[in-house]
């Protein structure tokens, strides 16, 4: 039986212009590739006729394809059907079920059998991937082919794109590839597939709302493709956005949908053609996506205000420079703005004369967002700051806007203010006084987690953390002897006991039982890292090939349970700053612990204090002389009352004095013994100096 003898049965047939466009884009590469390998007459003839074959080819797509054969009881579902010059594919054409046979069918039509693997690669790849491969294999791409791409890029840049419909017009009518609009071909196919199901979603959502007593749909009207107006809910007019949820996801890509959801009283509903429609609330959206933080960084500056700022001289409320300052200087300027009348800092603006500025623009090479975040992290408490890249003509500038603060914003415990166009230290307040806080603590409960040795593996072995077990024992001894913690209230998990399930679930009841008069002490020594979203601590059986799934989230095991508990006083000690493993004395792995979510915790709870063994980008070291981690050795020594520098009024060990001591002593010791840099960090509330422990001994002789 020949395929041409079968009769095709299809549903919702339409021209598949996206596949036709894709073939026209990749055919020049296909010809170059074959010409580089083949030189026989038949192949040359087929290549000469290739463009004619493409032009003659008609391509259609349908939701479902079936073939039957006359005279016998036969019917079969297929993904591709070819008959003379007509090609039928199921939608979308770039699904694996279609691509599995597509290149083979096309190569037979082109009389280029045996080259289907080349065509398959070209169909699946982006233009950049194709060109990169051709360069790798030293396949010369003619200038005229590159010129075609440049023309597409130029035309795509000139397109005014406000909606998916504009993209579709550009792709179908002007033959511009989806990737020029930062859409992969599979993404474009998926958007197209979803778009065709919007009418079904609108119909099903309306029919469902009609059955609900609180909705009145008697005057509904479809005001856009997926937007329904004229509906009232409990007497109030609302607008409904209806979206299909095929493949268990909801895609929103019309600008009208974003406008409705942002500016008017609206609801978002979805349906999959099978189950009853459902509404997505903001709470459900946050829960399903795992979002626990919504950054609001878009700066609120209109064109006229920006124009004024760019032409004004430096002043009490304006500073600028051609390139970004270092984080320390940015932090000083931001804090001085916050402590005076607010202000704006601009990068990409140069002062030629006191009354004349030049917009020089700011290169995207500058990591200005990271620099700004680092600067803000140096301040305590964090002021209200917004920042963003803005366009001024053809040039990009970076604007940081700081609001005036009701509280004193400190940088390294110092208050800066703005005087004319300078940020200066406020007179007579070089050391800003904070309030000494003596909390009423009924009981201290401690969690100690220490992982020195990791599960042995033949490959991808996680490196050991030298002296971690000794650190845990030393810290526990200090809790008992110096902080009067009952040993029964110390929960210590080490090495092979520190499994993911244990760390994630065994402390739930402990957090639940905490009271307002309890204090939690959390101490961790082991590998730690940040995956771009949240911080993780290692487990005994963590696997280097799938760290995020085999480690534990710091937020899940500590920060969230602590927030939900009644506990108002906590000390958090983390010896897990990390960058990369270098030698046997270096206690680091993978990437850095990020302190941002710890700062948020301290902002919410002023009596929480967090101490980290080093700064982001550094490593935490151990000492063969001390048989301990350097940071933990000095930490225990200080809280044990053996260091005069951490005593306030010869009586109290405070979090602020502990921070200053660790910052100085650990960095000096590490530099002298090992020649490395390690600078501990603490995250404290600037308004209070919290007492960690009161020294009961009346007189103590300190070694100097």
573-606 pLDDT, tens per residue? 999 855 333 333 434 334 456 556 566 655 556 6
For the residues 146-174, what does the mean pLDDT come to? 54
Q: Which of 268, 224, 262 is nearest to 245 (CA)?
A: 268
DSSP 484: -
| Residue 648, both tokens | 């306030």
Q: Where are the beta strands (DSSP E) in 453-511?
A: 490-494
Indicate whether 352 pLDDT > 50. yes
Residue 136's CB is within 10 A of a number of other CB atoms, namely 8
pLDDT of residue 439: 80
Q: What is the mean pLDDT of the chain?
A: 81
Assess contact for 452 and 466: CB atoms under 8 A: yes
**Structural domains of the chain, with CATH:** 3-182 (no CATH), 197-289 (no CATH), 303-425 (3.30.950.30), 436-694 (3.40.50.1460)
As a whole number of angstroms, the distance between CA 331 and CA 327 comes to: 6
Most confident segment among 365-379, 421-435, 475-489: 475-489
Q: Which of 539, 543, 516, 515 is nearest to 527 (CA)?
A: 539
As a whole number of angstroms, the distance between CA 528 and CA 597 comes to: 14
Question: Residue 683 — very low, low, confident or very high, per pLDDT cuts 50/70/90?
Answer: confident
Q: Name residues whose C-beta falls within 8 Å of residue 155's C-beta, 6 or more positions apart in sequence.
A: 170, 174, 176
Assess contact for 69 and 179: CB atoms under 8 A: no
413-428 pLDDT, tens per residue? 889 999 988 899 887 5
Burial of 55 (0-12, 13-18, 19+ CB in 10 A): exposed
**Packed helices 41-48 and 17-37: angle between N→C axes, nearest 10 degrees:** 150
pLDDT of residue 493: 95
Tell me how far CA of residue 478 lies from CA of 172, 226, 444, 446, 634, in angstroms: 72, 64, 13, 12, 12
As a whole number of angstroms, the distance between CA 681 and CA 556 comes to: 22
As a whole number of angstroms, the distance between CA 568 and CA 437 comes to: 13
pLDDT of residue 589: 39
Indicate whether 319 pLDDT > 90. yes
Most confident segment among 135-144, 252-261, 336-345: 336-345
Tell me how far CA of residue 178 lies from CA of 30, 128, 472, in angstroms: 19, 13, 57
DSSP 393: T
For the residues 682-696, what does the mean pLDDT come to? 79
**Packed helices 185-195 and 17-37: angle between N→C axes, nearest 10 degrees:** 160
For residue 300, which phi and psi values (nearest 5 degrees)? Answer: -100, 85
As a whole number of angstroms, the distance between CA 357 and CA 397 comes to: 13
Indicate whether 300 pLDDT > 50. yes
For residue 286, which phi and psi values (nearest 5 degrees)? Answer: -65, -40
616-631 pLDDT, tens per residue? 767 889 999 999 999 9
Q: Any idea which of 93-97, 106-110, 598-602, 640-644 has the lowest mean pLDDT?
A: 598-602
DSSP 315: B
For the residues 266-274, what does the mean pLDDT come to? 91
pLDDT of residue 167: 56
13-33 pLDDT, tens per residue? 778 877 888 888 888 889 889
Question: What percentage of residues in the chain have a pLDDT greater than 70?
Answer: 80
Residue with tokens 């803000």: 376
Helices and strands in the chain: count of H runs, count of E runs: 24, 39
In 326-358, which positions are buried (b, 16+ CB within 10 angstroms) versus exposed (e)? ebeebbbbbbbbbbbebbbbbbbbeeeeeeebe
180-216 pLDDT, tens per residue? 444 444 555 556 667 778 899 999 999 999 999 999 9
Beta strands 356-359 and 349-353 are antiparallel
Q: Where are the beta strands (DSSP E) in 615-666?
A: 620-623, 628-629, 647-648, 652-654
Most confident segment among 34-43, 434-443, 466-475, 673-682: 466-475
Indicate whether 560 pLDDT > 60. yes
Q: Name residues whose C-beta falls within 8 Å of residue 525's C-beta, 6 or more positions apart in sequence.
A: 449, 450, 451, 465, 468, 471, 472, 575, 576, 587, 629, 632
For residue 569, which phi and psi values (nearest 5 degrees)? Answer: -135, 125
Indicate whether 451 pLDDT > 70. yes
pLDDT of residue 596: 60
Assess contact for 89 and 59: CB atoms under 8 A: yes
Indicate whether 261 pLDDT > 50. yes
Question: Residue 513 — very low, low, confident or very high, per pLDDT cuts 50/70/90?
Answer: very high
Question: Residue 153 — very low, low, confident or very high, per pLDDT cuts 50/70/90?
Answer: low
Residue with tokens 């199901």: 197
- Selected residue with higher pLDDT from 368 and 292: 368
For the residues 370-397, what does the mean pLDDT come to? 86
Query: What torsion, rounded to 10 degrees, do the Cα atoms 659, 663, 669, 671 define?
Result: 160
Q: Name residues whose C-beta falls within 8 Å of residue 605's C-beta, 6 or more positions apart in sequence.
A: 568, 570
Question: Residue 40 — very low, low, confident or very high, per pLDDT cuts 50/70/90?
Answer: confident
73-100 pLDDT, tens per residue? 678 888 898 888 889 998 888 888 889 8
Strand order from edge to edge, sheet including 395-402 = 318-321, 343-347, 395-402, 385-392
Assess contact for 28 and 106: CB atoms under 8 A: no
- Selected residue with higher pLDDT from 500 and 258: 500
Indicate whether 392 pLDDT > 80. yes
Instruction: Classify 191 in phi/psi space as left (phi over 0), alpha (psi -120 to 50) or beta.
Output: alpha
């Amino acid at each position: 039986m020949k395929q041409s003898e079968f009769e095709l049965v299809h549903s919702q047939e339409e021209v598949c212009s996206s596949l036709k466009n894709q073939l026209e884009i990749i055919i020049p590469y296909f010809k170059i590739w074959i010409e580089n390998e083949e030189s026989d007459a038949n192949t040359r003839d087929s290549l000469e006729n290739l463009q004619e074959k493409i032009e003659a080819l008609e391509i259609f797509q349908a939701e479902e394809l079936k073939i039957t054969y006359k005279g016998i009881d036969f019917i079969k579902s297929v993904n591709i059907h070819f008959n003379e010059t007509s090609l039928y594919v199921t939608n979308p054409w770039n699904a694996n079920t279609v691509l599995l046979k597509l290149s083979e069918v096309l190569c037979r039509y082109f009389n280029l059998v045996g080259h289907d693997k080349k065509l398959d690669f070209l169909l699946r790849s982006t233009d950049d991937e194709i060109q990169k491969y051709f360069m790798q294999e030293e396949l010369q791409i003619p200038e005229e082919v590159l010129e075609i791409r440049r023309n597409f890029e130029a035309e795509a840049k000139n397109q005014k794109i406000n909606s998916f419909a504009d993209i579709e017009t550009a792709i179908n009518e002007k033959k511009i590839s989806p990737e020029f609009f930062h859409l992969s071909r599979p993404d474009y196919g998926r958007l197209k597939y979803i778009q065709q199901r919007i009418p079904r979603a609108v119909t099903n959502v309306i029919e469902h709302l009609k059955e609900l007593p609180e909705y009145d749909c008697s005057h509904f009207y479809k005001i856009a493709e997926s937007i329904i107006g004229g509906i009232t809910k409990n007497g109030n007019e609302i607008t409904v956005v209806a979206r299909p949820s095929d493949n268990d996801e909801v895609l929103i890509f019309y600008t009208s949908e974003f406008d409705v959801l942002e500016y008017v009283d609206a609801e978002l509903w979805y349906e999959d053609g099978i189950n009853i429609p459902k509404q997505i609330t903001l709470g459900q959206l946050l829960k399903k996506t795992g979002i626990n933080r919504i950054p609001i960084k878009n700066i609120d500056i209109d064109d006229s205000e920006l124009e004024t700022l760019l032409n004004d001289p430096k002043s009490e409320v304006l500073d600028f420079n051609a390139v970004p300052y270092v984080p320390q200087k940015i932090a000083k300027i931001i804090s001085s703005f916050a402590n005076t009348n607010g202000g704006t800092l601009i990068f990409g603006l140069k002062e030629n004369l006191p009354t004349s500025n030049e917009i020089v623009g700011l290169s995207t090479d500058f990591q200005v967002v990271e620099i700004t975040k680092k600067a803000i992290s140096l301040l305590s408490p964090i002021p209200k700051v917004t920042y963003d890249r803005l366009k001024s003509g053809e040039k990009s500038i970076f604007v940081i806007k700081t609001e005036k603060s009701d509280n004193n914003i400190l940088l390294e415990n110092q208050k800066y203010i703005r005087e004319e166009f300078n940020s200066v230290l406020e007179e007579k307040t070089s050391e800003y006084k904070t309030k000494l806080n003596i909390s009423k603590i009924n009981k201290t409960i401690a969690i100690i987690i220490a992982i020195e040795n990791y599960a042995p593996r033949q490959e991808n072995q996680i490196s050991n953390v030298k002296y971690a077990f000794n650190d845990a024992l030393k810290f526990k001894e200090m809790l008992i002897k110096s902080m009067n913690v009952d040993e029964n209230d110390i929960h210590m998990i080490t090495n092979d006991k520190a499994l993911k399930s244990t760390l994630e679930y065994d402390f739930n009841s402990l957090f639940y039982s905490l009271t307002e008069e309890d204090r939690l002490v959390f101490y961790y020594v082991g590998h730690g890292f940040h995956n771009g979203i949240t911080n993780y601590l290692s487990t005994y059986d963590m696997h280097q090939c799938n760290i995020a799934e085999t480690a534990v989230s710091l937020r899940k095991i500590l920060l969230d349970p602590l927030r939900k508990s009644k506990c108002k006083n906590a000390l958090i000690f983390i010896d897990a700053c990390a960058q990369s493993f270098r030698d046997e004395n270096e206690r680091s792995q993978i990437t850095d612990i990020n302190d941002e979510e710890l700062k948020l915790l301290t902002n919410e709870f002023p009596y929480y204090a967090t101490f980290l063994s080093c700064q982001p980008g550094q490593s935490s070291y151990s000492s063969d002389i001390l048989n301990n981690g350097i940071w933990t050795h000095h930490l225990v020594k200080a809280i044990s009352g053996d260091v005069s520098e951490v005593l306030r009024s010869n009586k109290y060990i405070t979090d602020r004095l502990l921070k200053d001591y660790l910052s100085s002593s650990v960095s000096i010791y590490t530099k002298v013994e090992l020649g490395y840099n390690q600078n501990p960090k603490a995250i404290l509330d600037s308004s209070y100096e919290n007492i960690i422990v009161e020294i009961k001994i009346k007189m103590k002789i300190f070694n100097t």
